[in-house]
Structure 1
């Protein structure tokens, strides 16, 4: 009876998660399409030193493109695709998306940190962000960290601690877990450090210099919020899953797996939160976006206010 109840709860969990992803996809696709349109056709990112921001948009599109497949599997009460090739491609894309998003967000935060805390010194990040070649190199460097998801000797999603068939299998699983945790924990420590230093710098500055500093604080704070909301919960859940799996606590593992998958679905909402970072980090992009998509709304609002004023005068 408990097994039947557990299976029923499993089905309900993944049905709910599939509809959460439907909402993320429904909101994320038009939002990211509009952002992409602005960056290419209106803002011209290559002229406005927004190459890193554009790469975050590309990374978000990788994630949005994976969601329909995840939705299909979850609605059929499957954690992953039964097609091994498709499963590994999905994992590869998701790992690549996460690594790229984190890499470019960290680079942007470091750029603001050096501009504020070490103003006047040579800012190597500023030199990097002007060069498209650097972005290509970052993507290439991410590939070796993502390749372990393509090795055929591990079970999709998580196999560490379950079966140790070969030495290569064990090394591959260990390396993948190290990459997973280090790409969250190390950047998070860097972000917190940058945020604290920028905030302290803001307190010491005079009134006339605070506008630029406040914008820098908004940027690094927004990145920390995105990390805390999207990436930290699933990282903690994965650590818990590994712990109960190594202890061979099967009942606890069944629950931990569902919590981990649920928090991974929560992490997909970074494709909705990243546009907030675009606004905080680049006021020019925000102005172009608003003037493009809210022009009719603003004109209508202005006309209504003018009508009200005319009526009040008369």
Structure 2
């Protein structure tokens, strides 16, 4: 499944210079945005004293910070005509952080949607299950479980962190790596679809009562679905296509050319996946009216509507 002839040099330098500019743009926009969000959660909302939803949102910010650490390194590689760093240690460290960010982002986006699902569709169950209110415990478990799930991506890499050494066939590690990778996408996506459908049906059935709360819940799970579909599904699909192409040992010239194009598309869709650090603040605003009001009153008070309070 691994392509041992992949030297990690780019096939189209001009295209990767464009990817470089996209990544730098994402970084310059996301860095101040995420710093401002973190300031709100720590100094204004004091998330550790707030309801569980703010704890999950703060952890989502931490996941985005991991991504922001990696983007300048990846961008500089693209500018130099490399798909990955020539230093094997740096290459694997960056990939580890990228996959850790991806797993954390997916996990906390999913848990936010599940939390909203229970509060809207099954409020009685949410009140009786104390574990649903243990946000710090759930968050800690997610961060503890993620590194062991991320390590398989480093054992025998799908990427090109080979340090110019020959990698022997190991089907078990290949399968383990891909099972972990795709299950982190497909299982949460299935859960998100279920939560979205159930909350939407609940809104349609509700004729009286707090329909505004239900609408906010629908907007929230829909926004999570948009972030998920835009940032994680395309890159996972391109990875699957690339895996199928690399399953064949002896490639013709035409097949090798097709694989090179698939690699370029995969790298471009990975750049697209980095948008989650820009789109996540939309989730914050839809998930917490208080966060939105505090953020606007702190940084953009002229946008506050009359009657809005912290």
TM-score by length of 1: 0.86
Does the CA-based 8 Å contact 1:28-1:271 persist in structure 2? yes
The alpha-carbon deviation at position 184 of structure 1 amounts to: 0.9
Counterpart selection for 2:24 from 19, 22, 25: 22
Question: 2 CA distance for matches of 1:246 and 1:8?
Answer: 21
The alpha-carbon deviation at position 9 of structure 1 amounts to: 5.9
Does the CA-based 8 Å contact 2:10-2:81 persist in structure 1? no
Counterpart selection for 1:292 from 292, 298, 304: 298
- Root mean square deviation, CA, Å: 2.2
Larger Cα Rg: Structure 1 or Structure 2? 1
Q: Which residue of 2 aligns with 1:268?
A: 274
Runs of 4+ in 1 over 6 A off after TM superposition: none
Q: Which residue of 1 aligns with 2:285?
A: 279
Higher helix share: 1
Question: 1 CA distance for matches of 2:112 and 2:100?
Answer: 18
Q: Is 1:252 the counterpart of 2:258 in the alignment?
A: yes
**Structure 2 matches for 1:84-233, cutoff 5 A?**
84-122=88-126, 127-151=131-155, 153-154=156-157, 156-157=159-160, 165-166=168-169, 169-233=170-234
Does the CA-based 8 Å contact 1:111-1:125 persist in structure 2? no
Counterpart selection for 1:13 from 12, 15, 39: 15
SS of the residue 1:60 aligns to: helix
Aligned length: 288
Indicate the larger mover: 244-253 or 61-70. Answer: 244-253
The alpha-carbon deviation at position 154 of structure 1 amounts to: 3.8
Counterpart selection for 1:46 from 45, 48, 51: 48
Alignment deviations for residues 204-254 of structure 1 (CA, whole Å, 9 cap, x no partner):
112432011111101100000001111111111111111111133311110
Aligned in 2, Cα 1:165/1:221: closer, same or farther, shift over 3 Å? same
SS of the residue 1:255 aligns to: helix
Question: 1 CA distance for matches of 2:256 and 2:159?
Answer: 18
The alpha-carbon deviation at position 164 of structure 1 amounts to: 6.7
Aligned in 2, Cα 1:214/1:240: closer, same or farther, shift over 3 Å? same
Aligned in 2, Cα 1:129/1:98: closer, same or farther, shift over 3 Å? farther
Does the CA-based 8 Å contact 1:111-1:123 persist in structure 2? no
TM-score by length of 2: 0.87
